[in-house]
């Protein structure tokens, strides 16, 4: 059975804070009076860190050109309320000097993009696709109830895998604020109405999820780069059919994806209709999910992943000392936001890398 090695990867941003260089210290990040030691540098703005108890966490810094402090703090306050069943646990967040700072639970199994990379571009297993679809739908419904619409979802940023192989939402909160002012998004997964400049709705997120699932099944996004370039010259008017639907043998799965990828936001599966106003109920009621108990999904009952990860000890967290000699200090904004600086709870660390059979 083929083995799949998944390493964590995150979008890296160029640092704006000019950290001081200290020759004889390990690199640290300071949140108020709390200091974390960086175990592995994943770039100037991302690192795997340990707290004073030795727990492994992920610290991430994002610069906002528009300096939207209120937007960042509001999004983070919502994201912090998300259930750990569906979203990566956020332990702390902070804003200073137009930078947002976040400390998350470290997810060593990587993201959806890496899963595709290490499976040859697609899952190729109907049980695995179904497992992903059920869990991603449940996570999306939960995040919509907490955060609202996103509109800028990408598989290499917004969904990661836990050590059991289940998909978890990661950057759902702040990505709305950040990507709204960024030209670096990838249009493969964005709804036509969002590309046209309209305010994202929940229906736009269902389109993005449909695009994710389409790629999991077929190995390619719904539309090619050439098609998207043509649509761009037409003001993002989608005038061609997507993909090759004959690749999908399951009639209900095909119906689900066609519904998610409807170019009309009002007709799209998840937008609701005259009979079912709640878009989430419309999705859950689709024939593809006819035998799914959503209560069991919430409780993680009868939902074992079709691929059981094996945990191995390794040297994934070893790093070159020559790149770990600087100290990054995050300034204290004011005492009003000190309530965000919660101590990270103890986290069980199973290993430095995982291998999926």
pLDDT tens-place string over residues 327-343: 333 333 332 333 333 33
Residues 45 and 31 both lie in one domain: yes
Per-residue confidence (pLDDT) for residue 290, from 0 to 100: 95
Task: Give domain status of residue 353, yes or no.
Answer: no
Query: What is the distance of C-alpha 277 from the center of its chain?
Result: 27
- Has residue 10 got a pLDDT over 80? no
Per-residue confidence (pLDDT) for residue 345, from 0 to 100: 31
Residues 102 and 53 both lie in one domain: yes
Residues 95 and 175 both lie in one domain: no
Residues 290 and 187 both lie in one domain: yes
Residues 274 and 330 both lie in one domain: no
Strands (E), 130-253: 159-161, 167-169
Of residues 291 and 39, more confidence is placed in 291
Task: Give domain status of residue 354, yes or no.
Answer: no
Of residues 340 and 183, more confidence is placed in 183
Across 8-22, 159-173, 301-315, least confident range: 8-22
Q: What digits encode the pLDDT tens for the residues 278-297?
A: 889 999 999 999 999 999 99
The CATH number that applies at residue 291 is 1.10.510.10
Per-residue confidence (pLDDT) for residue 179, from 0 to 100: 53
- Has residue 344 got a pLDDT over 50? no
Residues 93 and 148 both lie in one domain: no
Predicted TM-score of the model (pTM)? 0.73
Task: Give domain status of residue 164, yes or no.
Answer: yes
Please give the average per-residue pLDDT across 303-317, as a whole number. Answer: 49
Task: Give domain status of residue 356, yes or no.
Answer: no
Domain around 82: 4-108+316-346
Task: Give domain status of residue 225, yes or no.
Answer: yes
Euclidean distance between CA atoms 222 and 220, whole angstroms: 6
Residues 234 and 124 both lie in one domain: yes
Please give the average per-residue pLDDT across 70-75, as a whole number. Answer: 82
Query: What is the distance of C-alpha 344 from the center of its chain?
Result: 21
CA dist 185 → 154, 178, 181, 348 (Å): 8, 10, 10, 34
Please tell me the total count of domains within the chain.
2
Residues 44 and 91 both lie in one domain: yes
For 330, phi then psi, to 5°, come to -95, 120
Euclidean distance between CA atoms 209 and 141, whole angstroms: 11
Q: What digits encode the pLDDT tens for the residues 210-250?
A: 999 999 898 888 988 888 888 888 888 887 778 778 888 89
Residues 103 and 69 both lie in one domain: yes
Across 141-150, 203-212, 251-260, 261-270, least confident range: 141-150
Give the CA radius of gyration of the chain.
21
Average pLDDT, the chain: 71
Please give the average per-residue pLDDT across 124-135, as a whole number. Answer: 87
Across 24-38, 92-106, 122-136, 214-228, least confident range: 24-38
Residues 192 and 238 both lie in one domain: yes
The CATH number that applies at residue 12 is 3.30.200.20
Could you tell me the two tokens for 217?
A: 């099944």
Residues 208 and 295 both lie in one domain: yes
Residues 208 and 262 both lie in one domain: yes
């Amino acid at each position: 059975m083929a083995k799949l090695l998944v390493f964590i990867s995150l979008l890296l941003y160029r640092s704006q804070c000019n950290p001081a260089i200290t020759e004889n210290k390990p690199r640290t990040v300071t949140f108020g009076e709390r200091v974390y030691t960086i175990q592995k540098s994943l770039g100037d703005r991302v690192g795997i860190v340990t707290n004073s108890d030795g727990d492994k966490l992920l610290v991430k810094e994002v610069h906002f050109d528009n300096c939207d402090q209120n937007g960042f703090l509001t999004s983070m306050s919502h994201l912090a309320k998300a259930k750990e069943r569906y979203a990566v646990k956020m332990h702390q967040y902070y804003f200073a000097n137009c930078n947002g700072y976040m400390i998350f639970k470290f997810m060593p199994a990587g993201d959806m993009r890496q899963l595709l990379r290490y499976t040859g571009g697609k899952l190729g297993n109907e049980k695995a696709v179904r497992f992903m679809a059920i869990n991603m739908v449940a996570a999306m419904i939960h995040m919509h109830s907490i955060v609202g619409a996103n509109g800028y979802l990408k598989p290499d940023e917004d969904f990661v895998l836990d050590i059991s192989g289940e998909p978890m939402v990661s950057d759902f909160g702040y990505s709305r604020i950040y990507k709204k002012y960024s030209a670096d998004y990838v249009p493969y997964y964005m709804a036509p109405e969002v590309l046209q400049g309209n305010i994202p709705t929940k229906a736009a997120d269902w389109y993005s999820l449909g695009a994710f699932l389409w790629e999991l099944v077929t190995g390619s996004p719904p539309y090619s780069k050439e098609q998207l370039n043509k649509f761009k010259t037409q003001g993002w008017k989608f005038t061609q059919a997507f993909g090759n639907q004959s690749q999908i043998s399951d009639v209900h799965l095909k119906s689900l994806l066609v519904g998610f990828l409807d170019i009309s936001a009002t007709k799209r599966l998840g937008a609701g209709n005259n009979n079912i106003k709640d878009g989430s109920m419309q999705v859950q009621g689709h024939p593809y999910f006819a035998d799914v108990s959503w209560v069991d999904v919430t409780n993680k009952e009868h939902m074992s992943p079709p691929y059981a990860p094996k945990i191995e000890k390794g040297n994934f967290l070893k790093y070159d000392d020559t790149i770990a000699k600087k100290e990054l200090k995050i300034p204290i904004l004011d005492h009003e936001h000190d309530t965000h600086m919660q101590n990270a709870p103890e986290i069980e660390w199973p290993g430095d890398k995982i291998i999926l059979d």
